[in-house]
Structures are given as C-alpha cells and as structure tokens.
Chain A
Amino acid sequence: MLQIRKLPVAVFALFIVIFPWAAYLIPAIKNYTGIMVFVGVYCLITIGLSLLMGYAGQISLGQASFYGIGAYTTALLTTRFGVDPWICMLIGMAAAAGVAFLLGAPSLKLRGHYLAMATLAFGVIVFIVFNEETGVTGGPDGLAGIPGLRLFGFKLNSAEKYYYLVWTIVIGVFLFTINLIQSGAGRALRAIHASEAASNAMGVDVSRYKIIVFIYSAILASLAGSLYAHYMNFINPSTFDLSFSIKLLIMIALGGMHEIWGAVIGAFLITFLSFEWLHYFKDFEIVIYGLILLLVTIFLPDGLVGVPNILRGWGRR
C-alpha cells in the first residue's frame, strides 16, 4: 500500500486523455463524456472521504453538506456580488475548512465515532438551512444563472472542455493525496488506523491528524461543489441531502476504502449506475443500492480493489 506504482497512474491518465475522443467516435457512448464530468466531481469527494475512512478510521455521514457549502458559496458570490468564480472557489474551500475544524475538533478529540453523529446532524441542519433561508439560498427553488468558468480567456462551455478541467484537477488531487499518504502524515494515519493506543503511546498526536484529514476531505468536497455549480449553472438543495452523503459512502465501500484507487473506481461505477444503467430498474433502484452496500460490507470488506488479493489467496490454496 505504501508504494503506488507509476504504471497504473500513467495508464489511468492516458485513459482520461483519450476518453472524450473515443466517446466522440462511438455513438453508443456519445454522452459519456458528460457523465465523466460528474465522475470527476464525485472522485474529488470520495478521495477525501476514503482518506478519512480508510486511513483515519472515521466516518462522515454529512459530506454532502461540504459539497453544498462549496456550491452555494460560489453560486451566491458570483450571482449576487459578481466575484470571480475562481476566487469564490477558494473562499468556499476556506469556509468548508473552517466549518470542518469547528465540527471536527470537538468530536475527534473524543474516542470512538462521535464524528459520524456530528456530521450526520450537521448535514441535516445544513440541508434544512438551504431549504428555509429562502431570501439567501432561494429555498427549494434553488439558485439559477450561475456563470460558467473561464480559463485564460477561454470559455469552458462544452462538456469536453469542462471534462478536461475537472479531470486535470482530479489527477492533481490524486497525486497530491498519494504524496500525503507516503509522507510522515500518512504513516501516522495508518498507525492510527492500526492501533490508536499504540500510536498515542509512540507520541503521535492522534486527534490532530484526524482533524487534518477531516478538514482536507471537507476542502475537497467544497471544491467539488463549486465545480458542480459552475458546470450545471443551477443548484437546489435536493442535491445536497442525506441520501447523497450515503451514496458517497456506497461509492467508497464498493471501490474499497483502504486504497485511493477504490475511491476512483467506486465513484466511476456508482455514477454510471445511477446515470445510465439503473434506469431499467426504476423503483428497485434504491433496493439495489442497499444490496450493493450490504453485500460489499459482508463479502468484500476491502471493496473491489481487494478482489485481486482474494483471487491470489485462492490461487495459493
């Protein structure tokens, strides 16, 4: 786990670069580039979340609220005050970091899973605020007219252009996160996950590292929210409810929470499931999500990235 091989990353990057061309040439997957934009946006959140779950051993049931904070911050500042979208994104990330600190510092100093409960409560409160503060957030109708993004004077006005922006950011975050995992902070995190008591005894400031990871995951979710808002040009509260937080959890569990690849694979599969493949099941959709989460938890505790290990284990027998 310590070593991230360079080859898979390069293959992955190549896949990302040529995907829109393939989609352009093959009519059956013509609209997949647009879906891949969402996969990228969700990847940002799941990478942060998998760090929190897989490495710090903590669970957040309110990640949708940070996603919402990012989206609403950029939406409000651009539409009401005409602030430059890129500056809005930074402000949104700072806001999410501040909130995460206020929420995480008290609950992560305690042993156990108080963060799960704090984030669950916080997520529902934020969702209610989005709905009720009609004067600011537009209430259930949401906010429209959010401007698109411009980069060096170019308008990112097509799915393909936005795709390259989002995935450049995802790959940047991916590499940064890998570096983080391999640094001293990452070793400390893995030590915490293995045994909190032992790492405490070795002088690792357990709660400090947990808070840092939680803040990092919140910043990434906020960034994803801003990217979502500028892509859709419209947001409303229903995107940021508890069920989205749980969907993120399903992505992580399916992909595997102990490896960063799991976050990417999970986001990819669940996004395509919900945008493309589950329509045939209509009302059964929700049951299928539940079954995926339950079956993975029981039979694949390491998610899909753990499958090669299981197969190798069988091979040895």
Chain B
Amino acid sequence: MEKISLASQLLQYLITGLTVGSIYAMVALGFNIIYNVTEIINLAQGEFVMLGGLIMSSLHASLGAPILPAFILTVVLVTLVGALLDRLAIQPIRRPSVLTLIIATIAASIIIKGFAMLGWGKNPYDLPAFSGREPIHILGAIIQPQYLWVIGFLVVVVIVMTLFFEKSITGKAMRACADNPNAASLVGINVKRMVLLSFSLSAAIGAVAGIIVTPISLMTYDRGAMLAVKGFGAVVLGGLGSFPGAILGGIILGSIESFGSGLISSGYKDAFALIVLLAVLFFKPSGLLGNIEVSKIKRF
C-alpha cells in the first residue's frame, strides 16, 4: 500500500470531520429549535436520529421500498414520535420546572431506546449508500460519495430552516414564542401548538440526520445517547439558542473529533468533543456566537 502524504491525510480528516460535524450540527439545530421555544434541553434528541436510521433501514433495505417514499415515510414517522413525545411526556407534567422537564426527556429517551431494542434487536443495521460506495479520490484523500450527501443535506436543511423561520408566518410565530411566550400568547399565538411544532420539527431534522448517516456508520438502538451528548456539545460550543452557532459548533466539534482521533488517539475519539464541551462551559459559557445577555435571562 502506498504511503499517503501528510497533506492528503489532513484533507481526509478534514472531510471526515465536516461530515461528522454536519450530523452534529443537525442534532444541535434540533436542540436549539426546542430550546428556543420551550427552554427545554431535549435529551431524547439523539433517539430521533437513531429511529431515523433504523426505520429507513427497515423500509428501504429490508422491505425494499424505493428510496424516496421510504425517506419521506421515515421522516413522517419520526416526526410523529416527536409530536407524541411532547403530548405524552412534556405536556402532562403538572409542575413543570427545568429540572422535571429534563428528567422527563431522559425518561422518554430510555423508553424510545427500549422499544427500539425490542423492535430491532441489538445488531447494527446497514443502508445502501445513496449513490454507491465507489470512493472518489481528491488530492490523495479518499471520499465516500455519501460524505457529500451528508454535507449537502446540511446545506439543504439550513436553507429550508432559514426560509421557514424568516419568511413563513408559522416560523415567525415560533420565534415570537422564543422571545417571549406570554407576549406571544397575548397576540393570539397558540404557544402549546408551537411547542408541539418545535418537537415535531426537531424530530424531522433528527430523522434526516439518522437516514443520511446510517450508510456511513450503520445504526444500532443505543447510539442515541452519545449523539445527543455530542450534539449538545455543539450547541454549547456555538452558543445555546443560536442557529448559526449550532452549525459552526457542530462542524468545529466534528473536525476536532476527526483530527483528534486521527492524530492523537482513536480510543479517545468520543472524549474530545466532551472535553471541548467542558472547556467551553468553564471559560466561555455563552459559546462562540451566543449572547451573554440572552443567556442571563433564560432559565436554563
């Protein structure tokens, strides 16, 4: 096997980092959508990603449904799970405090994970790559086509989200809830429906992330917790509540993880992102793009 030059090795790490980072960015976006409307940190966020991967694998790889209908059906099903999470675990809480709401999302994540284990078992599930597994060679780096799909999907998700929150009336209403729920309900916005919508939207984005990452890294029932922790790391790094921050945080975190596991130690792959999370919490809790004033008002 030919010796790979350092430059192309670094390029390899960078592209891997961008790909992994795109997934973290999508998880982070999901966190922020719910956080902005409700001030809840939804620790079940990673379970949406897991469900997306597993449901898609069953529909497309096992049952043989064509890719596009399977994709849409998967997103719809996971979105329903997100809506159910809000209706069954969040809304019924009589004395909502940040503490009890976090615990409720933890409970929900355990339940979802448990049912996923009952449904799919403990084995990893694969999904065919969207456009084959023939690697592309660029400057000595080897790139799976699926990497480009992942990065492309992040771009699409960001564009759709930006249009939704900037242009559509529903998106604007959700932003109003984020600014001030009481004022929002005074002007006739149904805050409860916005909360439901935020959970559904986060679940949908999580499902997309799960579908596109499964061809690269497979999917098992217990992957959700780590994805949630890292996605949350991206949120904190970028600044809690900030959408550009979530994307930036996700990509930086993915890159640190990729370079760290390539150059320092692969055994500590999962630790790098968390060490960054701790460092940010300690030295710049408002994150890179977060607003320190906003973070003082928020309850979380």
Contacts and interface: CB of A to CB of B under 8 A. Distances in A.
A242 interface: yes
Which one of A114, A288, A291, A294 has the greatest number of beta carbons of chain B within 10 Å?
Answer: A294
Contact of B104 (A59, A288, A298): A298
Contact of A110 (B95, B112, B225, B285): B285
30 contacts: A53-B99, A103-B278, A106-B281, A111-B296, A112-B298, A112-B299, A113-B41, A113-B98, A114-B281, A117-B232, A118-B278, A121-B281, A128-B267, A246-B106, A249-B106, A283-B118, A284-B118, A286-B110, A286-B117, A287-B114, A287-B115, A288-B114, A290-B109, A291-B107, A293-B110, A297-B100, A297-B103, A298-B89, A301-B95, A301-B100
Given A59-B102, A117-B277, A132-B265, A298 B118 contact: no
A46 to B, nearest CB: 15
A249 B117 CA distance: 22
Which one of B89, B106, B226 has the greatest number of beta carbons of chain A within 10 Å?
Answer: B106
Contact of A287 (B93, B94, B118, B232): B118
Main secondary structure of the interface of B (DSSP, over half): helix
A121 B233 contact: yes
Given A59-B103, A113-B99, 10 more contacts: A117-B277, A117-B281, A118-B282, A131-B267, A242-B225, A284-B118, A287-B118, A290-B110, A294-B89, A297-B104
Contacts of A53: 99
Interface residues of B, number: 47
Contacts of B107: 290-291, 293-294, 297
A288 B98 CA distance: 24
Contacts of A284: 114, 118
A-B complex: 10 closest residue pairs judged by Cβ atoms? A290-B110, A287-B114, A290-B111, A294-B107, A293-B107, A286-B114, A121-B274, A132-B267, A106-B282, A121-B277
A40 interface: no
Which one of B102, B109, B295 has the greatest number of beta carbons of chain A within 10 Å?
Answer: B102
Contacts of B98: 112-113
Interface residues of A, number: 41
Main secondary structure of the interface of A (DSSP, over half): helix
Interface in A101-135: 103, 106-107, 110-114, 116-118, 120-122, 124-125, 128-129, 131-132
Interface of B: 41, 89, 92-95, 98-100, 102-104, 106-115, 117-118, 225-226, 229, 232-233, 236, 265, 267-268, 270-271, 274-275, 277-278, 281-282, 285, 295-296, 298-300
A61 B89 CA distance: 20
B229 A120 contact: yes
Given A124-B270, A293-B110, A294-B111, A117 B236 contact: yes
A19 to B, nearest CB: 31
Interface string A277-312: 000000111111111011001100100000000000
Interface string A40-64: 0000000000000100010100000
Nearest to B283: A106
A253 interface: yes
B298 A121 contact: no
Contacts of B113: 286, 290
A131 B269 CA distance: 12
Contacts of A298: 89, 92-94, 104
A231 B215 CA distance: 45
Nearest to A111: B296
A294 B285 contact: no
A241 to B, nearest CB: 10
Interface in A220-261: 242, 246, 249, 253
